[in-house]
C-alpha cells in the first residue's frame, strides 16, 4: 500500500537533507532537497509499492545534485577564488571538514554520502553510481580514508599551534 506522501517526507526529510548537504554543500542543499522532493511527489503515484523509498529519493537527489554541481562549477570557474579568507576561528575546523568533503573526487563523495549518510547498501549505491557494488564500497572506503587524512592533518596543525 502507498502511504501518504507526508509520511515519506516525515521519514526521509532529514536523511535526504544530510545527503544533499554532503553532496552539493551547505549553501545549495536546500535547493537540492526542494527539487528532489518536488520531483519525487510528482511521480510518487507511479512508484511501485515494493520500491525502496530511501534509494528512490537518493537516486533523484543524485540527479539533481549532478545538475547543480555542473552549474556551480561553471560559476566558480568564472570567478577568482579567494583563499585569504580562511581565518583561524573555532568554526574553522568545521569549515575545513566541509572543504575536505567538497574536494573529494565526485565518486568518493557520492559513495560516502549515499552509503554512510543515506544508509543505502552498496548494491543500491552501485545502481546510482554505475559499476559494481565492490567498486562503490572501495570508493566509499577511499573517501573515508582521504577525509581522515584531512582530520589528521588538521589535528597536527592544531597541536603544533
Partner 1 sequence: MKTKTNVQQDISNLLAFTAAPPGAVDRLHRRLEEAAAGAGILDVAYTTIDTPIGTLLLAATERGLLRVAFETEGLDLVLDGLGRKFSPRILRSPKRLDPVAFEIDEYFARRRTAFDLALDFSLSSGFRLAVQKYLPQIAYGTTDSYKHVAALVGNPKAIRAVGTACATNPLPLVVPCHRVLRTNGELGGYLGGLAVKSALLKLEGAS
Binding site residues, partner 1, CB under 8 A: 1-7, 9, 13-14, 17-19, 21-22, 30, 33-34, 37-38, 41-42, 44-45, 94, 97-98, 101, 112, 116-117, 144, 147-148, 151-152, 155, 159
Nearer Cβ to partner 1 (73/151)? 151
Nearer Cβ to partner 1 (100/129)? 100
- 30 CB contacts (<8 Å, ≥6 apart)? 20
Residue 83, burial from CB neighbour count under 10 angstroms (0-12, 13-18, 19+):
exposed
The CA–CA distances, whole Å, from 5 to 22, 61, 72, 93, 116 equal: 24, 17, 30, 38, 25
Nearer Cβ to partner 1 (72/74)? 72
Instruction: For the CB of residue 78, give the shortest distance to partner 1 in the complex, in Å.
Output: 28
Instruction: For the CB of residue 67, give the shortest distance to partner 1 in the complex, in Å.
Output: 17
Nearer Cβ to partner 1 (5/71)? 5
Instruction: For the CB of residue 104, give the shortest distance to partner 1 in the complex, in Å.
Output: 11
Strand, helix or coil for residue 134: helix
Angle of CA points 148, 152, 154, to nearest 5°: 120
Amino acid at each position: 500500500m502507498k502511504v501518504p506522501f507526508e509520511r515519506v517526507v516525515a521519514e526521509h526529510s532529514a536523511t535526504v537533507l544530510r545527503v544533499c548537504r554532503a553532496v552539493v554543500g551547505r549553501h545549495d542543499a536546500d535547493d537540492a532537497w526542494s527539487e528532489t522532493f518536488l520531483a519525487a511527489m510528482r511521480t510518487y503515484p507511479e512508484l511501485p509499492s515494493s520500491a525502496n523509498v530511501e534509494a528512490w529519493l537518493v537516486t533523484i537527489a543524485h540527479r539533481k545534485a549532478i545538475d547543480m554541481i555542473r552549474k556551480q562549477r561553471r560559476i566558480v570557474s568564472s570567478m577568482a577564488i579567494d583563499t585569504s579568507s580562511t581565518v583561524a576561528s573555532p568554526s574553522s575546523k568545521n569549515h575545513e571538514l566541509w572543504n575536505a568533503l567538497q574536494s573529494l573526487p565526485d565518486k568518493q563523495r557520492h559513495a560516502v554520502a549515499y552509503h554512510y549518510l543515506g544508509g543505502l547498501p552498496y548494491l543500491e549505491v552501485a545502481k546510482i553510481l554505475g559499476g559494481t557494488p565492490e567498486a562503490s564500497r572501495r570508493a566509499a572506503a577511499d573517501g573515508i580514508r582521504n577525509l581522515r587524512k584531512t582530520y589528521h592533518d588538521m589535528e597536527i596543525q592544531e597541536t603544533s599551534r
